[in-house]
Structure 1
Amino acid sequence: MKYSQMDRQRLLDELIQLLSIDTHFENIPGMTAGIDFYESLLAETGLAIERRQVAGRAPFLIARSPDFDKAKPSVLLSGHIETILPADTDRILIQKDRLTGSGTQDMKGGLMVIIALLRELAAAGEMKNVTVAVSTEEEQGPRNRYKHVLEELARDQDFIMVFESTLDGIDSPAARDRSVVRSRKGLAYVDLTITADGGHSGVLGRKEQRKSAILKAAELITTLEEKVADYSSGTTVNTGQITAGSGFAVLAEHADLKIDIRYIFDYERERVLAWIEKQVEAINNEDGFGASFSVGLDFPPLQPSQATGAFLDVVASVARDQDRTLHIEDRGGGSEANLFSRANPDAAVLDGFGVRGDLQHTSQEYMLTESLFDAAEFATAVVRFLLD
């Protein structure tokens, strides 16, 4: 699939316009403006457009092809419009083979891949059985207020393609290489509080007198890393924040810990939580100490299914036809692919159909300009294969 210079320039100009809209995840008016602009691009392809709205949040955009052939599978194309950093128009630059700016890699570049794909299908009269989902909450992770919409959409789909960036975890790939993501880790946030009798550090001179919540927290944190995390199973346990103590020369009466558990398998999540529960019980039985914990936000893993395996075969076939090397990735960070997979375990869900770039979530974020057209060529061929 070859793009004329006019089509290439149009797509780049539209991407730059989208990048110029500040869709930082806390900027509700900005995200709404971004949705307005993207909706105008979708409307040109003849899709039927619907918005869902949660009070106080930017809208979620759904677009469906009017034609549906019951003999063919359904395909969902998914992306998100919000960014971690605000837009900085001074940083939106084309430099040699790169386009820099907040959202280039994650994932406004991927959104424009979807537009290129849809235009190709529409021009060829092949627009059928396609749904597009554009989220304004993906970067919220487990706090996603549109989780119910994602779950609803997933239940009706046979194939789900998520347009996060490609080749993130691949060293030195060739120019036309592609990757797809078959699995992502789940995430559980734990809030854990330890209390202790405390006291004056200068007065309490015997070891058995010194009840410090900080010392108890340190013991627990060290054990979490050394004995509970299981790197061979892909399970990590991170204590990301500690709030403890009341002042200098005072044995701490409290320590509040924020812990995140990342896991591939649900049974690993249960193992770690069971260990934490057992430790809390032991601390409560220890003289001069107390403890409690709660599981806050929870995000399921994306786990490959039998349907995913068949989908991988399709994608691999397309890669061979286009003389590409296809890499299969298992990533640690989550995406809305996790939620799709949990809502419909029978759906074939793959991620990584977007552009190629680096340094996402930083002020130096960029994408390789040519990867916009390369990704569109690849994703369009995949959709055509599915609907043929």
Structure 2
Amino acid sequence: MTGFDSETLLNGLMRWVEIDTPTGDIEGIARLIDLIETDLRPLGPRLERIPAREGMGEHLIARFAGGPGPGVLVTSHIDTVCPPGAVAIRREGDRQYGPGIADMKGGGFLALAAIASLVREGLPLPGPVTMIWNSDEEIGSPTSSMLIAEEARRHGAALIPEPARGDEAITFRKGRAKYRLDFTGREAHAGSAFQDGRSAVSELARAVLVLDAMTDLDRGTTVNIGRISGGTEPNVVAGRASCDIDVRFADDADGQRVEAAIMAYRPHDGDVWVTVSGEIEKPCLARSSGTIAMFRTAQQINAGLGLPLLETRSGGGSDGNFTSAAGIPTLDGLGAIGGDWHSPNEHVLVGPLGRRAALLRGLILHFAGHAPDAGT
């Protein structure tokens, strides 16, 4: 028995899903934070709303007092990817579809349900529990990453209820970087003055081959040139060209090595200039000894709920990358089970909602009072 009814949890979750909150929708995000605050106030936490800035929405922090334990941070995002109307809200058997229902309103709601269960049952928290709901994760958390890292350093562990594809938890995530190369050459007529031109497109083509060669699948490093543009007309030597690059890496040192190589790139033609911009946005979520200790505890809790828990890795990033980089053991992928996120078919499975809430409840209670390396 989990102590949670999945259909009741779904009814609560749908109140969140029915409020559209794409990243940057300040009004929609404020409406959802209003709703979350309403649900939190009877539980007695200290609430803090971080004002909207830089075109992003607000963030919400709830701090629950506890005993002398090291405490645990739970961070979820409430912004979504798909624009309003892109995902039809519908139920098909055990699948409930909706915008952001898996990524990650499902996990954010289950985290609230977990702490609410502990408070309403009168169970004393052995250490402080802090919960964050931020509104800009889908674009890299530009206005909340520092807040999340700062809060993480005040706690002994971090839990990230990002979605899962089964009974599993994520113990490692790749780091991510984004870069842009802008080439400036010299335009000229392609027929009568070709020799006077300096092609930015030709230099971009050379750069693409160099960048592509930086991929090393054996080391888990990928360099993806995802978008290119340049030139004006076929009969004009191109004066401008650019490319946007996504880099993923399994080791922070590899990410720094690739960054140094990209920043040092120079065109073959000395008359063409290049401007390089971008940076490492998210370091790796490290599979540290503390994170493994957290996973072992999660396995024990899930076994008590009737099913084994699998360990997984991910090439995608989350706010768990920031908590891990802050030196805090982090366990990720603890949210609702579902699939097809970032698509019109995004969904959660209703049946496992109770079990996932119970897993979060057990982890919150345990790690509020025990540091991961000592708590298994």
- Shift of the alpha carbon at 1:73? 2.9
In structure 2, C-alpha distance between the alignment counterparts of 1:58 and 1:210, rounded to whole Å: 46
Matches of residues 1-388 of structure 1 in structure 2 within 5 Å? Answer: 1-3=1-3, 8-55=6-53, 57-66=56-65, 68-70=66-68, 72-88=69-85, 91-128=88-125, 129-141=128-140, 143-167=141-165, 178-203=167-192, 211-225=198-212, 227-280=213-266, 283=268, 286-296=269-279, 298-342=281-325, 344-345=326-327, 347-386=328-367, 387=369
- Shift of the alpha carbon at 1:198? 4.3
SS at 2:162's partner residue? coil
Cα RMSD, aligned residues only = 2.3
The answer on whether the counterparts of 2:78 and 2:135 sit within 8 Å (CA) in structure 1 is yes
In structure 2, C-alpha distance between the alignment counterparts of 1:9 and 1:147, rounded to whole Å: 33
In structure 2, C-alpha distance between the alignment counterparts of 1:78 and 1:108, rounded to whole Å: 12
- Identity value in percent: 29
- Shift of the alpha carbon at 1:63? 1.0
Comparing 153-162 and 322-331, the one that deviates more: 322-331
Count residues with an aligned counterpart. 366
Q: In the alignment, what sits opposite 2:373?
A: none
Q: Provide Cα deviations, 1:268-313, integer angstroms capped at 9, x if missing partner.
A: 1222223224431x53xx3433323122562222122232122122
- Shift of the alpha carbon at 1:210? 6.8
In structure 2, C-alpha distance between the alignment counterparts of 1:149 and 1:279, rounded to whole Å: 34
- Shift of the alpha carbon at 1:21? 0.8
5+ residue gaps, structure 1, are 168-176
Greater than 4 Å deviation, 4+ residue runs:
none
SS at 1:94's partner residue? strand
- Shift of the alpha carbon at 1:255? 1.1
The answer on whether the counterparts of 2:3 and 2:358 sit within 8 Å (CA) in structure 1 is no
Could you tell me the TM-score, scaled by structure 2's length? 0.89
In structure 2, C-alpha distance between the alignment counterparts of 1:90 and 1:213, rounded to whole Å: 40
Q: 1:107 to 1:289 in 2, by over 3 A?
A: same
Q: 1:287 to 1:139 in 2, by over 3 A?
A: closer
- Shift of the alpha carbon at 1:127? 4.5
Q: 1:160 to 1:365 in 2, by over 3 A?
A: same
In structure 2, C-alpha distance between the alignment counterparts of 1:127 and 1:101, rounded to whole Å: 35
SS at 1:61's partner residue? strand
In structure 1, C-alpha distance between the alignment counterparts of 2:236 and 2:245, rounded to whole Å: 25
- Shift of the alpha carbon at 1:350? 0.9
5+ residue gaps, structure 2, are 371-376
In structure 2, C-alpha distance between the alignment counterparts of 1:223 and 1:369, rounded to whole Å: 47
In structure 1, C-alpha distance between the alignment counterparts of 2:131 and 2:169, rounded to whole Å: 19
In structure 2, C-alpha distance between the alignment counterparts of 1:288 and 1:321, rounded to whole Å: 68
Q: Provide Cα deviations, 1:200-224, integer angstroms capped at 9, x if missing partner.
A: 2223678xx7742212211221232
In structure 1, C-alpha distance between the alignment counterparts of 2:314 and 2:345, rounded to whole Å: 22
Q: Provide Cα deviations, 1:146-179, integer angstroms capped at 9, x if missing partner.
A: 2222122111111110110113xxxxxxxxx521
The answer on whether the counterparts of 1:87 and 1:101 sit within 8 Å (CA) in structure 2 is no
